Amino acid sequence: MIALRGFVIPALVALTWIGFVAPTILRAFRVPMAYGWWRMDRRNRHLSKRQYVWSFGVFSMGIGVFFLTALRDYLPWELAGERHSHLEASVLIRLIISLAIGWLVTSLTVPQQRISDTRPR
């Protein structure tokens, strides 16, 4: 049961961050990111490549992956009442790796903006 809670709770926190909290924060800074998890690439097609990579990739996905991995390791120890001294040592490294993963994945998968040909014939 602890193993199930050790994955479900971090997954829900990460999905809530990616789908609702991060877009709310980004909208406060005038980055028009769409809410929700479904079809994020198509729903955020209006963002420039730079906005997509940094807001969706690094801020939303990178921090979401960090929440997932950090909480997945922290919660079982906390629920079992154990000490977790080695977790503090790896938090910064885990954050940097998570942000890099978010940047790399969205840099490689950024949706292409289609510009229609408007030249007169």
pLDDT in tens, 67-91: 988 888 777 666 566 665 565 667 8
Q: What one-character DSSP code corresponds to residue 54?
A: I
pTM of the entire predicted model: 0.74
Give the residue among 56, 81, 113, 60 at the shortest CA–CA distance from 2: 81
- pLDDT tens by residue, 99-114: 999 999 888 888 776 5
Tokens for 28, please give them.
Answer: 């406060």
Domain coordinates of the chain in residue numbers? 2-32+45-109
pLDDT at 43: 67
pLDDT at 97: 93
Give the residue, 87 or 34, on which the prediction is more confident: 34
Question: Distance between CA atoms of 47 and 60, rounded to whole angstroms?
Answer: 14
